[in-house]
Structure formats: C-alpha cells, structure tokens
Structure 1
Amino acid sequence: MQKTTFDGLKQIVACVNECLRRLQRHVADIEKRLNLLIDETHRRVVGAEKSHVLETLLETAHPQDASKPIPFFEGKLDNFCMEHNEGMFENAMTISDSSNSKLLRASYYASLTIARNSKPHPITETTVIPIIVNAVREVLGEDAAFQIATILPSNNTTKRRIENKSSDIQFQLKTALNSSLYFSLQFDESVDVSGAAQLLCYVKYIGGAEIEEKILFCFAVHGNTTGECLFEVMMEKTRYFNLDRDKCVAICTDGAAAMTGKKVGFVKRILDIAPNAKWSHCMIHRYALAVKPLPDELTFVMEDCVSIVNHIKTSSLKTRLFEELCTKLGADCVQLLYHTQVTWLSRGNP
C-alpha cells in the first residue's frame, strides 16, 4: 500500500515538473513576443519622430522642393538606389555561411520567388509567413517555429529585397553593355488597352558566348508622343546605363511619323548623337502592313469570321455556351479574342 502511494506521488511530482517546464517555456515565449512588440513600437515612434525632422529639414534647407509631388522624390530615390546599391544583391548572396548569412540569403530567396511569380509583396505577411511557420511548428516544434517567425521578411523588407534585385539586374546589364563592342536598340511606342502610351526599348549586345537581347526599359509616356518627347524620355531612362553612343550600330522602329520624321523625328534625333547607327524598319510592322490588303477571295472569309466572333462576344450567355461547347468537343482553346492592332492576334476590326 505504501509503495503504491509512493509511486503515485512520484507521478504527481513528475507531472508538476512537466507543467512547470511548459509554463517556463510559455513565459519565455511571451517575454520574447513582448520584447518584439516593444521594439516594433519603439521603431514606429522613432520613425514618426524622424519623419517630422525630415519634413522640417526639407522646408528649411530645400524650400524650393518642399511643394513638389511625391513622384519627384520617388524618382530621386530610384536614381540614388541604382547608383549606390550596385552589386548589393550579389554581395548578399556570396557572403560567408554563418547563421545570419543563411537567414539573409533565405530572405532574398523568398522575395525572389514572390517576384518571379508576379505576386504583390504584401503576400509575405498574409500568406507566406503563416504557411512556413505552421509547417515548421508541426514538423520541428514551437521553438523552431518562433525562430522562423522572427527572421522571415516583413512586407517592407520584401519590397526592399525586390528593389535590390531589380537594381542588381540593371547593374549587370549596365556592366554587360559597357563591355560589349557593339549594341543595337529597338523601340516601339504604342497605346495599351487603358489608353496609356508606352515606350518600350530592347537592346541587343555581344554577350559572353552569343548575342543577347534584354529589355532596357518600358516607360509610360505622359502628355505628347512626338519625336522630341520620345527622345527626351529615351535619354532620361538610359542615362544610368552610360551608353557609349559610338557603339550603337543599329536602330529599329516602326514607320510612324513620330518615329521617322526627317527633321524632328525620333530616329533623326538618335542618329544625330549616334553617327555609326543605321535605321531599319521593324520586320513585324512591315509584315503587318503587307498583309492588311487581303485578296478578294479571302476578304469575305475574314468578314464572316469577324461577324461570328462579334456575334458570340456580344452576349455573356453566348460566350458561356460557346465555352461549354468547346469543352465538350475537347478543344484546346475555349475563348475567343477580340482584334488588337498592337500584337496582331487576329484580323478585322470588331
């Protein structure tokens, strides 16, 4: 009887000790979270104070810029980051294998995945962090989950990581262009579905093993789209790359008047500063112009196709029935596309 009572007391003491250990871990976890909360509150308070100091400094030291809009300062910040963050991403990914270094690289890889999938960076706190923390908690325990939660990047950190990678890509392209013997530029100015004018520029250059083609910039043009306006946009967006104009050997555009004007056209302004360049008419635009006039025997076929597409697309019910019909027939495509003059997906003018 006494032995049974003693064994029961031992079990009770063991349970009490286990409860105490769990309570200690829980208290330690609460203390860590409170410290993080205090640090975050302190950071926000200090940030608000710094914001007030910066506003006062702007009004006193730079009164001429105090009334300028936010995009003006964002442009200044972008130029500053591109000039001072060159190689930052490469340095972050090649540092030592210490614990902090691994966490930093993990942060960059997480933001890289978000950027590659074209997801908004706030998805980090709303989706990515909860998924990782819950998975780690189930597999490795509460302590590992808490450690992961403290090192995963926040929304602002993810935004900075993506900006650093963007600056690093531009820096790599700048280095490649400066080391290339020659390069060529291809421009296209068009209007998207929202009515905004876009100036798109591709660059071809001699890479390490072959000729490479990269997008140089894509910029929404505000106001007029004359040759002079497009030239000013091009000069502004290519200033960072410090292109050697003597290395430019070819320019490719469409045949629009703003591009090919003899006196103030976009091509004329570029040829004035790049004497070795030769202009060529874009083959895709030339092809589009060549196939516009259809033979009489094909015109009625195209008109019938356009009429059929318009008849289906004018009603949401007809569109759904057409999609259901295509699905039952096992068709690869179940949607009809309207005509677009930008990418020439189809013909006609619905």
Structure 2
Amino acid sequence: MMLQVIAKLALTMPKRKVDSENRAFKNRWEAEYMFTDIAGKPVCLICGANVAVIKEFNLRRHYETKHQDNLKDLNTEQKIQKAEELKKNLTLQQMFFTRAKSQSEAAVKASFIVAEEIAKSARPFTEGEFLKSCMIKVFDVLCPDKKQMLANVSLSRNTIADRVCEMATDLRTQLSERSKDFIAYSLAVDESTDMTDTAQLAIFIRGVDSNLRVTEEIMDIKSMHGTTTGKDIFENVCQSITDMKLPWDKLIALTTDGAPSMCSEKSGLVGRMRVKMQEENCTGELTAYHCIIHQEALCGKVVKMDNVMSTVTQTVNFIRAKGLNHRQFQSFMREIDSEFADIPYHTEVRWLSRGKVLNRVFELSNEICQFIDSKGKDSTNFRDEKWKCELAFLADITAHQRLKPPAPGT
C-alpha cells in the first residue's frame, strides 16, 4: 500500500527542471577542471567537449577520467597558466571560424550578384570565369591583399547555372505567394518558334489584389516539341494555372494572337478556356482580347503613310547598302561637324527599329538632302514641308509605341 502511495505521489509531483536551479559557472573550475563557460555551457579547454548541465560533479568526472593523468605533474599556478593558454587558443579558433563563415557568406552573395547580371544581359554562363580572371588582375593592382577574397568566389559555368536556377525558383515562389491575394487576374499567351525550330509558349499574368496593387510578370514558358494545336496550347496553359494554384473563377481576361489555334471559339485556346471555366462553375465571363500584344504592328498597318516609309527606306538603303556611299556619308557628317556620325540601318525583321530610323532621318533631313543632291538623286520629298510633317508624326508615333508597350490583358 505504501509503495502505491509513493508511486502515485511520484506521478503527480512536477518534474525537477535543471534550468530552474539557476546553476552558475564558477571561475575556479577553469584551473581545477580545465573548463570554461561559452554561451552558458561548460566547454572543456583540452578536448572541446561540452557538458549539458553546469554541475561540478560532471566537470570533475570528465577531468578525472580523461585529462588528469596528463596534467598531474602541474601545480596550481601552472594549471592556471595552462588554462589561460587554452582559452586564448579557443578564442582565436572561434574567431577564425566566424570570419571564415562571414567570408563564405559574402562569396556566395557575390556569386549571386554576378549571376544575376549575366542572366539579365543574356550572356553565356561561361562569362563568369572570364569576369573573375579580369577582376583578379584588377585586384592585383589595386588591392593585392584582398585578392584571396575574390578567389573564394565561385563563378564557374555550373555555379552560374545553379545560381540562375535558384533565383528563378525564388521568383516563381514569390509570384505564387503574391497570386494568393489576387482578386482578379488576366493572362496573355503567345506562341513563337526559336532558332532551333522549337515552339515556345510564353504565358504572362497580370493580377490585382484588394489594395489595387498590380502585378505583371511572365508566369511560365513551355517548350512544345510536337504539335501546336489549340488542344496542346490549352493543356499547357491549364498545367501552368494548376502549378501556380490559381483559382479559375478569378480569371477575367485572356489575350492571344490571331492564329486559329489561339482565337478559335471551338477548337482554339479561347473556346476551350471558356468551356473549362463553365466546367469549374465560374460565374464570370471570360473576355478575350485579340492581338493586343501586337498593337504596334497593327498600328503600323492601319496608319496609311506608305509614301513616308517607302521614301525613308529607299534613302537609308541607298546610303547604307553600298560601302562607298556609306563611307562618303560618314565623311560628309564629320566634315559638317554633325551631332550624329551615321544613320541606323532599317530591317523589316526587327520592325521596332523603324522608330529609331525615322527619328534619325528626321533629325538629319537637311544633311541627307544635301548628300542626296551631291549624288544626283531626287530630294523633292525632303524639301516638301507636308512630307516632313508626316515624317515627324510617324517618328513620334513609332517612338511612343516603342517606349510604352501595352500591358497584357488591357
């Protein structure tokens, strides 16, 4: 009966907590047991082992079983000196590891910064090694004592690739977290073929939260190695929406180009997206925009100023197409101390360049007129005030469209 009472009392009594005893480390233990206090824990100065509980019995047992035989010939004063030596060595060792850790973190941060710049400039990942070799030579001249810090920064091709992937993953995670607060969002989808003839499907998102903060980002890029039908595009878009965990009932708009696989109401992306929203019991109506992302190209087709563009193209080609004319034009610009030394070349493939070409031709209209006259060519248009006004208007329009591209889904 007594044993049952004792057992019951043992179960009901609160457990003794070592932390509540407020044991403190005593300075005399340093010389007696070769221990010191680091961050509230006793650490052996000889082997670096730590003891969980600050208790003299534990320290004495560790010292007597592991280190007493090696220090038995030392008197009290010698043991104090030995303890001070060991403390200094331990402090230097801790400082070394702290400094090494700080330098390692700085080196990793520096590699991320370089990787970000390489990715933004669309340069090869091997550029990191070239940049590192250049910086080491600069450090040799300016601050040779800090060259080793730069040597610790890893900028190899594999490292740059890993850093870029980590940053891309982090950006995608941030976008996913921010999309949870969207009260509405729209998508813009465009499919194009790269230089390896692989179809690349780019999906852009524009969302707004309850604080009317607008987020515009590229949501995903899908490589399509097979067919690019409306069904294929729809499946890839659905997969991206699922991966981003976006609710279908908050999708309000979709922007596509004019291809049948995109805008067809039956088998195209737009039609399939509307069917999908009905299956998801979405009450809102999906608004489809056609070719808004190519507004500049449509604007160029609607604005009837072929007489201006054809004259500008013929004039620029006359100057740039032949090497002799081009060299003579550059010499002419230097002779008259012109602000500009040359005129940009126009190409139909990169049609946004026409804004730069038109602006330069307008600014150099008098100089071009003089050069054309010296070559015996007709310069009637460059002397016509009405034609020059149309040239100025077209230059302003194309420059405005180039500097301020429309946002997707607007």
Regarding TM over 0.5, the answer is: yes
Q: Count residues in correspondence.
A: 248
Distance 1:292 1:99, change over 3 A: closer
Q: Match for 1:130: what amino acid?
A: S
1:299-350 deviation digits (Å, cap 9, x = unpaired) = 4444434444555565455555556656764338721221248759479xxx
Q: Distance in 1 between matches of 2:137 and 2:296?
A: 55
Q: Aligned with 2:220: secondary structure?
A: strand
1:13 corresponds to: none
Q: Distance in 2 between matches of 1:322 and 1:238?
A: 55
- TM-score, with length taken from structure 1: 0.58
Q: Aligned with 2:253: secondary structure?
A: strand
Q: Specify the structure having the higher radius of gyration (Cα).
A: 2
Q: Distance in 1 between matches of 2:108 and 2:296?
A: 50
Q: Aligned with 1:108: secondary structure?
A: helix
1:102 corresponds to: 106
1:231 corresponds to: 234
Whether 2:280 is the aligned partner of 1:278: answer: no
Q: Match for 1:113: what amino acid?
A: E
Q: Distance in 2 between matches of 1:201 and 1:251?
A: 10
Distance 1:222 1:340, change over 3 A: same
Shift of 1:265: 0.6
Q: Distance in 2 between matches of 1:180 and 1:323?
A: 55
Distance 1:264 1:202, change over 3 A: same
1:122 corresponds to: 126
Shift of 1:169: 0.8
Distance 1:240 1:283, change over 3 A: closer
Q: Distance in 2 between matches of 1:324 and 1:238?
A: 58
1:236-287 deviation digits (Å, cap 9, x = unpaired) = 4444322222211111123332211121011111222234322122445467
Q: Distance in 2 between matches of 1:234 and 1:162?
A: 24
Q: Distance in 2 between matches of 1:325 and 1:256?
A: 48
Q: Distance in 2 between matches of 1:217 and 1:342?
A: 26
Shift of 1:209: 5.8
Q: Aligned with 2:106: secondary structure?
A: helix
1:304 corresponds to: 311
Q: Distance in 2 between matches of 1:129 and 1:220?
A: 33
Q: Match for 2:256: what amino acid?
A: T
Alignment root-mean-square deviation, CA: 3.6
Distance 1:181 1:310, change over 3 A: same
1:113 corresponds to: 117
Whether 2:345 is the aligned partner of 1:336: answer: yes
Shift of 1:164: 0.6
Structure 1: segments with no counterpart, 5+ residues: 1-96
1:182-209 deviation digits (Å, cap 9, x = unpaired) = 1110122345677654432221112566
- Conserved? CA contact 2:188–2:205, under 8 Å: yes
- Conserved? CA contact 2:186–2:254, under 8 Å: yes
Q: Distance in 2 between matches of 1:232 and 1:313?
A: 47
- Conserved? CA contact 2:189–2:202, under 8 Å: yes
- Conserved? CA contact 1:183–1:205, under 8 Å: yes
- Conserved? CA contact 1:217–1:237, under 8 Å: yes
Whether 2:148 is the aligned partner of 1:146: answer: yes
Select between 284-293 and 174-183 the one with higher mean Cα deviation: 284-293
- Conserved? CA contact 1:199–1:218, under 8 Å: yes
Task: Map 1:35-114 to 2 at 5 A.
Answer: 98-114=102-118
Shift of 1:289: 4.2
- Conserved? CA contact 2:188–2:204, under 8 Å: yes
Distance 1:239 1:135, change over 3 A: same
2:53 corresponds to: none
Q: Distance in 1 between matches of 2:267 and 2:132?
A: 54
Aligned-residue sequence identity (percent) comes to 25
Distance 1:256 1:310, change over 3 A: farther
Distance 1:219 1:332, change over 3 A: farther
